[in-house]
Amino acid sequence: MTGPFVLKAAGQVGNTSVTYYSAATQADLGGTVNVTPFTNMIVSNIAAQMAETYFSNPANIANIGTLITPTALTNAQIALKEKLQPVLAALGVNSSIDLLRTSFAADHTGLDAVLDLVKVETNTNTNIVTLKNALTSVVLGTDNVTTATDDKQAVVATGVTTEAATDLQLVLAKLDNFAKLFATSVPSIQAIKDSGTFDTSASFMMSGQTFAQFATEMSTQQDLVGLKFSHVDISPDANNTPDVLILTAVVSSNTEAMLDRIRLRLVKSGGAWLVQGDGLKADVSVHAQAHRGTWANSMGSGANPIQNGLSIFIDPFEFNSNVINGTFSGGQIASALVTGPGLGAGVTFDQATQDTWLKLAGQSYNTNLIPECTTALTAQCVNIAETVDNGVYTIVLKNAAGGSVNGSGYQIRLPKKPYATSELTAAMFPEFTSITIDGQPITPNLLATLAVGKTVAASWTMPSALKAKYANIWASGANGTEFYRVEKDLLPTATSVLFAIEEGSGTPTSAGIWLEGTDSYGRRLAVSGYISQ
């Protein structure tokens, strides 16, 4: 290999999509080169625009040899180090450090502590980097990468102290304690209660569950043995409430198919940080989703147009159950209003039939996908051109009288904006290669055989940009009553699945299968098959 080189790391930290660049010269071969938010600033300042924007233009790849030079890297690294000197000094980082090349441990000390406490936010439209205190959201400084005029404007170190770094370590230690409960086995309810990890009071709320309900559920989750948290992001809550932090992370375990994201609310009480659930009255999430479907019946078969948009999942079942049993007051959650980039005045959801979650209002069928706005605009659609990476959506949950049951709403981040439908091609989706029942390819003529005791097998190919995530099969009768739904979480590398139909009733007149893959940013691309008589 011959330098210079450009390095790239992309994916999610917590629930935020990130892309970091770094660079190296021929002399760096065999040595350490960091890839961090700070190295991304170094490369962006050299390119005089955000590195992500610069390198997304194929024409600029040919310029790497003249762009990335030893002198340019040295000058940009020194300039950024001088700009960051107040926060580096506040956390005891030696002034001789090379932000590009000095190796450091991921132990929340030294440079790692600086990266913990200084949140770097980039705006590709303005080419301005904003540096904030990760625990308070106080702006520490900015950097316009298109010009060198602000390079000498050092950041302030407001709230960036060794005490804050220690406090952050205590928060992360609480996360470690959570994981240790599942180190080798499933803990008992009492062990969870006595761990000192959780706020066991009535203030605990986990997607509508009380602490007792949460602990009971956790004590049965065998797939959590070997629990691990990674890609952790910590930030203040939406109101910058003192001694309250929101933590998001990737969750994995010894069970390979166990790969998900979690949100936790932590509160400081009596000098100790405690996990207070997620602080939400419903299970909520926001994802970019695209879906390609096929159909078949006795008259023929075909493909449906690609459906694309925002998937908003809102399930208030646990909270509503606790309202019914008298644990909570304020009325059951009956609907929701979702606002945010691309949604205009907002989109409404109401209770789905035969399901616990809320569906897109005004639809005759159950769906939580807000479709992309077309030329035939409706209020219940998303203008994808107005969506943004890391866009924030507000979800206001309402009772039957229309009153909010969660104040001004929950703010949920969308890591990556949806593709525009015009960008999507069939090759970007998973593709079924076989769907059989007891070894026979499923056709409309075999619908009646999709009964209890049967096994459905499906296999597929997955595009290289996707990892398998989830699959289900379902069947229903002539009046739309669902007889059964069998769901499977998939290994990321899975190419097949078996569904055992163990319970259900009735003779199906329609049935379907759904397969979902996710990319590195959490966008979901799914394929489905539907058959009917």
* DSSP secondary structure letters along 176-226: HHHHHTTSSSPPPHHHHHHTS-B--STT-BBTTB-HHHHHHHHTT-GGGTT
pLDDT at site 377: 55
Neighbours of 44 (CB within 10 A): 25
Neighbours of 229 (CB within 10 A): 18
Spatial distance between the Cα atoms of 183 and 227, rounded to a whole number of angstroms: 6
Per-residue tokens: 157: 């170190």
Q: What is the DSSP letter of 211?
A: H
φ/ψ (deg, to 5) at 377: -65, 140
For residues 466-484, average pLDDT: 86
Q: Which amino acid is at 248?
A: T
pLDDT tier for residue 506 given thresholds of 50, 70 and 90: confident
pLDDT tier for residue 503 given thresholds of 50, 70 and 90: confident
Q: What is the pLDDT of residues 102-134, one digit of tens each?
A: 999 999 999 999 999 999 999 998 999 999 999
Residue ranges covered by each domain of the chain: 5-135, 164-275, 287-422, 426-532
For residue 32, which of 7, 62, 61 has the smallest C-alpha distance? 7
For residues 52-70, average pLDDT: 93
| Top CATH class, 426-532 | mainly beta
pLDDT at site 376: 55
Spatial distance between the Cα atoms of 160 and 89, rounded to a whole number of angstroms: 10
Say if 164-275 and 426-532 have the same CATH topology: no
Q: What is the pLDDT of residues 164-222, one digit of tens each?
A: 999 999 999 999 999 999 999 999 999 999 999 999 999 999 999 999 999 999 999 99
Whether pLDDT at 510 is above 90: no
Residue 471 burial class via C-beta count within 10 angstroms: exposed 0-12, middle 13-18, buried 19 and up: buried
pLDDT at site 509: 85
Spatial distance between the Cα atoms of 246 and 232, rounded to a whole number of angstroms: 10
For residue 34, which of 106, 102, 93, 94 has the smallest C-alpha distance? 102
pLDDT at site 355: 87
Per-residue tokens: 223: 């797939």
Mean pLDDT taken over the chain: 93
Whether pLDDT at 223 is above 80: yes
Sequence-distant (6+) residues with CB within 8 A of 64 are: 4, 5, 6
pLDDT tier for residue 374 given thresholds of 50, 70 and 90: confident
For residue 440, which of 426, 424, 415, 457 has the smallest C-alpha distance? 457
Whether pLDDT at 25 is above 90: yes
Per-residue tokens: 471: 């699959």
262-272 CB burial, b ≥16 within 10 A, e <16: bbbbbbeeeee
Taking each continuous run of H as one helix and of E as one strand, the counts in the chain are 11, 26
For residues 465-478, average pLDDT: 91
Whether pLDDT at 328 is above 60: yes
pLDDT at site 378: 65
Per-residue tokens: 18: 């990130």
- What is the CATH topology of the domain spanning 164-275? Nuclear Transport Factor 2; Chain: A, (3.10.450)
> What percent of the chain has a predicted confidence (pLDDT) above 70?
99
DSSP string covering 125-144, please? TTTEEEEEETTT--EEEEEE
pLDDT at site 532: 87
pLDDT at site 259: 84
For residues 8-25, average pLDDT: 92
For residues 323-328, average pLDDT: 96
